[in-house]
Structure 1
Amino acid sequence: MKKELNTTAILVWLSMIFTFLAVITGNLFDRKLEFQIGDVVHTDFFAPFKFENTKLTEHNKELAANSVDDKYMVDEQILQDILINTELLFNYTEEIIALEQSPPLTVPDSVQKQFGITYSSKNINYSQILQQKSNVSLSNSQYEMLLNIPLETLAQIEERILALFKQIYNKGISDTDIKDIDIVSMISEFGISPVYQSLVKSIIDNQLRTNLVLDKQSTQEARSVKSSAVPPVMVEEGEKIIGKGSKITPETYQLLIDSGIVGTNDIDNFVPYIGVIIMISILFIFVILFLRVTSSHTSITSEGKNLLFVLYIMLLLVARLMLGLQFMQFPLGIGAMIIALLINKEIACVFEFVILIVYSIIYKADMTTILYQLITGMISIFVIVKMIERKDMIKVAGLLGLIYGSVYIAMVFLIDLPLTMALVYNMLIAMGIGIFSVILVGGSLPLLESAFHFVTRFQLLELTNPNQPLLKRLLLEATGTYHHSLLVGNLAETAADEIGANALLARVGGYYHDIGKLTCGNYFKENQVQRNPHDSLDPRSSASIIISHVTTGLEIATKYNLPTCVKDMILQHHGCSVMQYFYVKAQNTGIENVEEIDFTYPGPKPQTKEAALVMLADIIEATTRSMQSKFGPDFTIEDLVRKMVKQQLDLGELSECNLFLSDIEKVIQSFIRTLNAMYHERIEYPEKKD
């Protein structure tokens, strides 16, 4: 989840940056430079007023700041660390000396012989122990020397070394100062015996280091003071900036800009930039809020987010590369139409709204043009989704062509323009854009389906064709399962319509959820016409066969190249539920080691609304069929549906999909209506009497 949020944030920020770049380089800002660096001027240019030579001033300030030496401060912790390490060294030394002088631990010879060991206190290397515990690096011989110093002398040496360190560090010491310190003379002055002077020198040398650290704040303050004291370099009014025949250098080019001779148009005014930043920020805040509000019932996959980003950036590039075109001639609705087909209408409408505002800013479009693009774009979204099959493309293209032309003429009449041949020509162009948009969308869909792994309604519709190989196999090899799957598909589709889920996907999921039964159809009740093979099997074997239809279904789906979303439904349509019938039967028959896991479907639980609907439809259809004869005034289809749905909720099987309680009630009502229509009471016809 965190990774997904990070990806979304990155895409939003990139979109904002690209939008800002597209806007500031569009027609909103008209920058026409008279000169460029390297050009030769053909006249003298003089300062029209007194102004600051910002480049030279900044250069002088930088030189002044760099002339200030770094400021350092004393780090008191350095001395404290050294004193602590020194004290620890001598404390450890005293402890080890005491240990050496204590009575040796003896191990009886019989014990040594029994365990094959040879123990003696002489085996202990005390200098090595001291070396491991100490933070002061010395040689082995120096550690041994320490351990051989009398305790009284050892205490004196420690006291004098500590005093030595305090004397050395009574001020700041740099790396250069350390090299100049005469340690030998200082040791002699402190009255340390010549026998131990070399050892003491090593203890001191190995710990000496600078106690000066860079004081960044003081250094920066000093440099700021020095820099602020530099007076600005002024160019006086009338002073020559560049002479005739001279080549423009970076320095003189900056002077021309500072003087207002070059770049005096809108792009040098920061106010429009602020306006653009505010507008774009508000626009994207609206998008983020919309996505948050609709996330409860409209989920966008990572592929969908990538598609939105790619389409948005492509349209921005088109806007920049084709600035010469009239804004009204842009097929702006193409992106929204693609999104409507691959994601949904709501996201498509927001996308159209955002891209329209951005294009309007880039082109400084008038209100009439904006209104034309808004109307045609929104109509395109709701017309394109009527393209159920690919063969509908021609019909939809013709319809959109007429709509584009009609809206254009309506705009002409709205602003009261005379109807000229030029306007008629533009109307024909508008009609052509409408037709071209549909053709381009239809042609790009296969590429986008492949690149972003989308499953379109066209693919799903093809999978509902009864002539599909898998459906024909189901009909011929597992007839009961085939009819059950059709009913599950109808139940799931109707319920999906009620809650705004993908009804066609739910239907396809229902059709194919049980294809794993093809390999052992007679082991499932709906396909049995004579004996039940489970009668001769133990419950564990029966459960294994039943459970295997999930994984077998996935293998068959992979073999027949079914879409990933359909394969997910095959895996998830039983969730992680327990096969209660065989589990209880196994417990009652006295089978040893009955584990619930052996009777549990592998899962996972349904991850989408559509998968959850297929699961519920599967359970409810099968249960309704098996209990059809028991329905009456005391036990209705509604009672059964509510009981089965509540059971799945209590088991937590719906905990990982985005079904809400309001959705579940709508699903229940849909199932009740559909099942009542399927299992309504029929009139019993009387037999004809002879």
Structure 2
Amino acid sequence: MFKPVLKLFKSLKFNYLALFILLIASFGLFALMHGNVKQETYELHEFKISPKTIRSLKTVEDTVKTEQEKRRIESEVPPFYQFNEDISKNRQAIASSLFDFIIKEKEANVPVADEDIEKPVKSRSEQVKNVRKELTKLEEDEPGLRLTDEAIASLLTGEVSRLEKMKNEIVKIIGEELSKPVRSGDISSARYEVERKLRLSEAIPPAELQTLITLGRSLVVETETVNQALTDKRIEEEKNAVEPTRILQGQVIVREGQFIDAEIYRQLELTGLLTNQSSSKPIIGLIIYVFFVMMIIYLHFITWVEDSYKKKKSLLIVIAIFFILVSIMKLLSLIDKEFDVQVAFLFPTALAPLLVKLLTNERMAYMMTIVTAATAGIMLLEGFSAIMQMEIALYILFGGILSIYILGNNGRRSNILRTSLAVAASNVLFIVFYLQMTQTTYDLSELLFYIIAAITSGILSGALTIGLMPFFESFFGMLSDMRLIELSNPNHPLLKKVLTETPGTYHHSVMVANLADAACESVGANGLLARVGSYYHDIGKTVRPNFFIENQHGSVNPHDELPPEKSRDIIIAHAVDGAELLAKHKMPPEIVDIARQHHGTSFLKFFYVKAKEMGQDVVEDDFRYPGPKPQTKEIAIISIADSVEAAVRSMKEPTPEKIANLVKSIIGGKLNDGQFDECDLSVKELKKIENVICETLNGIFHSRIEYPD
């Protein structure tokens, strides 16, 4: 059933498969997160009683209240008055001109003493008529300035000198009053003051007093008027300075049992809390977020230089882990409503990076830590956070990054547990930071909960990692450090088989494991994989144990009785037999590959020379292993360690110089033979491997003290 699916899985191009998987994952992630970002609404009606206390889920501007406040400010802004000193001069000039007209007419009607000149004397009515004619234009410009004919006639009866005195007096009094700011509301008091001063003046005859009072009162006008442009500017500035009235996030709009009046209902509508107002904005935002997450994962994988099949498996692992984490977030978000504390702090902060690093690589672990933290910040919202619960996001981010550093390259259970304890300590430190920054008073039970939650989060990270690892390894055929450690147990059935049936091979394999492990660590390869692979690399020898020199223990060598071709086939077969035996026992592919490739296409020179000496017509290629050549650094290093260990063991009285020359010769020979052509070992790394192997062998084959008999 699974074989066709696996075949299709391997045949598809990574880019197409990744897009398809991420598209399916997008729908799943959207479904899980949808309920957490969807705004809660209520079915409420105006003029009814609220069944519960409702708070605003967001901060919004109340435009109605803001506009009301602006109108209030506009009504309270005082007008901008501007004093015009020219008005006083103009009113004085009007008073002066009026008297000048009268004085001019008065002087024009004075009789001439010279008898030779006959000058007709105008009647009073003619004089009044002339003065009225002069005043007509002045009265048009000043509608309030109205002198009756009787008043003009009365003034014409006076002497010119007396008229001059009256003119000077009224001009002075008008000038005094209008030199001060006079607003529209002050006109009555200003006119009263002018009248009072005229009544007290000795320059005004009683007969003309009323006429001058009427004239004086009519000359009083505003000297300080409203500058509408400046007033409008001031009103605009005051309105712009008004802070918008906002309904704040978390603000109580209506309390349980409170009557929902028109104003409360309007605020509920404004904040979108009514059932008929469900907004599509959070859904659109969630779609964009899911797109961002999947795009980051996709870009991360297509820029990862790795075998396509391994990338496909790693993508499935990352998606599976991500959905496990999101499911935990969903569960926490559902139960969080039942508690007054933030249950979200129970989330295993280091689960994502630990699993991803152990099953893929460190680069992937960093990416998943960031994505997990951001997703948790959205899903584990507490209270009335606008977009993201930042403290939860930082909590997961810091704990996750710390776990990556502390775990290092050691995936043993003990190291995972030690990492989880360090994460727990980090979580507690973050909780202390969080409690200090909130500046909120917590009781003892709340403090204990947060501390216990932080410790639980760290320990859960390690426990769930150890618990979930076997499932991922089994389902995806992954080889983790924990699995390798299990395979290195001497009680493993296959290792017992090697130990009991081929003890010489077992000893050889242990020696090869020590050399390969040390050499791999020197060049950044997986030393644990090389060690465990070395334990199983010669398991094919258990099929015909006596045909291999290390298992003969001084007995007759069966190859002495066999033709070179038969011996060749038996020796070569141990690589193929070992790979088949390991595959039959469902061992990890990496271990099977080590058994199959550790000899590459090496040349069996001993049996080739033997055949030549027997006079047979043979070709070199017939005496080579079928391969393939080592495909990884680990297999190439095991092939070196395998050859070196066997060669050094056969040396008599090995010395550091002999060992160094032998190791150099073997590595050089394999390099020249093209055995490293298909793996990514560099010449520089081969030199490091050479030095480490020599140091390790010198420690094993050191000189010993000769004890006396």
TM-score after normalising by structure 2 = 0.56
Task: Indicate yes or no: 2:420 matched with 1:420.
Answer: no
Aligned to 1:357: 374
Given the superposition, is the C-alpha separation of residues 321 and 628 from structure 1 closer, same or farther in structure 2, using an over 3 Å criterion?
same
Aligned 8 A contact 2:424 2:459 in 1: yes
Deviation at 1:433, TM superposition (A): 2.7
Aligned to 1:308: 318
Deviation at 1:333, TM superposition (A): 3.0
Counterpart Cα distance in 1 of 2:599 and 2:513: 15
Q: Which moves more between the two structures, 508-517 or 340-349?
A: 340-349
Counterpart Cα distance in 2 of 1:269 and 1:401: 34
Deviation at 1:400, TM superposition (A): 4.6
Counterpart Cα distance in 1 of 2:393 and 2:281: 28
1:272-310 Cα distance to aligned partner (Å, 9 max, x none): 579748854773476247634xx59x9945433321122
Counterpart Cα distance in 2 of 1:435 and 1:20: 27
Deviation at 1:26, TM superposition (A): 6.2
Deviation at 1:493, TM superposition (A): 1.2
Task: Indicate yes or no: 2:541 matched with 1:517.
Answer: yes
Aligned 8 A contact 1:492 1:507 in 2: yes
Match of 2:18 among 1, 9, 12: 9
1:119-174 Cα distance to aligned partner (Å, 9 max, x none): xxxxxxxxxxxxxxxxxxxxxxxxxxxxxxxxxxxxxxxxxxxxxxxxxxxxxxxx
Match of 1:549 among 567, 571, 574: 574
Aligned 8 A contact 1:15 1:313 in 2: no
Counterpart Cα distance in 1 of 2:583 and 2:284: 59
Given the superposition, is the C-alpha separation of residues 28 and 581 from structure 1 closer, same or farther in structure 2, using an over 3 Å criterion?
same
Count of aligned pairs between the two proteins: 458
Match of 1:650 among 661, 664, 672: 672
Task: Indicate yes or no: 2:601 matched with 1:576.
Answer: yes
Counterpart Cα distance in 2 of 1:519 and 1:429: 56
Given the superposition, is the C-alpha separation of residues 408 and 628 from structure 1 closer, same or farther in structure 2, using an over 3 Å criterion?
farther
Counterpart Cα distance in 1 of 2:513 and 2:482: 17
2:401 is matched by which residue type in structure 1?
M
Counterpart Cα distance in 1 of 2:294 and 2:466: 33
TM-score after normalising by structure 1 = 0.57
Aligned to 2:631: 607
Aligned to 1:486: 510
Counterpart Cα distance in 2 of 1:355 and 1:397: 17
Counterpart Cα distance in 2 of 1:551 and 1:286: 39
Counterpart Cα distance in 1 of 2:287 and 2:413: 47
SS at match of 1:668: helix
Q: Superposition RMSD on alpha carbons, in Å?
A: 4.0
Aligned 8 A contact 1:31 1:266 in 2: no
Task: Indicate yes or no: 2:267 matched with 1:267.
Answer: no
1:533-564 Cα distance to aligned partner (Å, 9 max, x none): 32222211111121121223234434555333
Match of 2:590 among 544, 555, 565: 565
Task: Indicate yes or no: 2:536 matched with 1:527.
Answer: no
1:533 is matched by which residue type in structure 2?
P
Deviation at 1:489, TM superposition (A): 0.6
1:668 is matched by which residue type in structure 2?
E
1:197-219 Cα distance to aligned partner (Å, 9 max, x none): xxxxxxxxxxxxxxxxxxxxxxx
Given the superposition, is the C-alpha separation of residues 352 and 676 from structure 1 closer, same or farther in structure 2, using an over 3 Å criterion?
same
Match of 2:402 among 371, 379, 400: 379
2:304 is matched by which residue type in structure 1?
L
Deviation at 1:666, TM superposition (A): 3.3
Given the superposition, is the C-alpha separation of residues 390 and 280 from structure 1 closer, same or farther in structure 2, using an over 3 Å criterion?
closer
Match of 1:459 among 467, 470, 483: 483
Aligned 8 A contact 2:505 2:538 in 1: yes
Given the superposition, is the C-alpha separation of residues 587 and 453 from structure 1 closer, same or farther in structure 2, using an over 3 Å criterion?
same
SS at match of 1:677: helix
Aligned to 1:637: 659
Task: Indicate yes or no: 2:304 matched with 1:283.
Answer: no
Aligned to 1:471: 495
1:156-198 Cα distance to aligned partner (Å, 9 max, x none): xxxxxxxxxxxxxxxxxxxxxxxxxxxxxxxxxxxxxxxxxxx
Task: Indicate yes or no: 2:353 matched with 1:336.
Answer: yes
Deviation at 1:510, TM superposition (A): 0.7
Match of 1:407 among 430, 433, 437: 430
1:210-269 Cα distance to aligned partner (Å, 9 max, x none): xxxxxxxxxxxxxxxxxxxxxxxxxxxxxxxxxxxxxxxxxxxxxxxxxxx998776349
Aligned to 1:99: none
Match of 1:369 among 377, 389, 392: 392
Q: Percent identity?
A: 32
Counterpart Cα distance in 2 of 1:410 and 1:660: 48
1:310-330 Cα distance to aligned partner (Å, 9 max, x none): 222343455456544455443
Given the superposition, is the C-alpha separation of residues 15 and 519 from structure 1 closer, same or farther in structure 2, using an over 3 Å criterion?
same
SS at match of 1:291: coil
Given the superposition, is the C-alpha separation of residues 584 and 305 from structure 1 closer, same or farther in structure 2, using an over 3 Å criterion?
farther
Counterpart Cα distance in 1 of 2:438 and 2:688: 48
Counterpart Cα distance in 2 of 1:607 and 1:478: 27
2:668 is matched by which residue type in structure 1?
K
Aligned 8 A contact 1:11 1:309 in 2: no
Counterpart Cα distance in 2 of 1:576 and 1:263: 75
Aligned 8 A contact 1:16 1:280 in 2: no
Q: How does 1:56-205 map to 2 (within 5 A)?
A: none
Counterpart Cα distance in 1 of 2:546 and 2:290: 68
2:472 is matched by which residue type in structure 1?
L
Counterpart Cα distance in 1 of 2:672 and 2:520: 22
Deviation at 1:486, TM superposition (A): 0.7
Aligned to 2:525: 501
Counterpart Cα distance in 2 of 1:399 and 1:449: 25
Q: Which moves more between the two structures, 18-27 or 516-525?
A: 18-27
Counterpart Cα distance in 2 of 1:34 and 1:667: 74
SS at match of 1:25: helix
Q: Which runs of 5+ in 1 are unaligned?
A: 36-260
Aligned to 2:706: 685
Given the superposition, is the C-alpha separation of residues 266 and 609 from structure 1 closer, same or farther in structure 2, using an over 3 Å criterion?
farther
1:653 is matched by which residue type in structure 2?
Q
SS at match of 2:304: helix
1:358 is matched by which residue type in structure 2?
T
1:484-524 Cα distance to aligned partner (Å, 9 max, x none): 11111111111222233322221011111112222333322
Task: Indicate yes or no: 2:667 matched with 1:667.
Answer: no
Given the superposition, is the C-alpha separation of residues 596 and 642 from structure 1 closer, same or farther in structure 2, using an over 3 Å criterion?
same
Given the superposition, is the C-alpha separation of residues 358 and 395 from structure 1 closer, same or farther in structure 2, using an over 3 Å criterion?
closer
SS at match of 2:544: helix
Deviation at 1:355, TM superposition (A): 2.1
Aligned 8 A contact 1:31 1:263 in 2: no
Q: Which moves more between the two structures, 472-481 or 446-455?
A: 472-481
Counterpart Cα distance in 2 of 1:646 and 1:476: 35
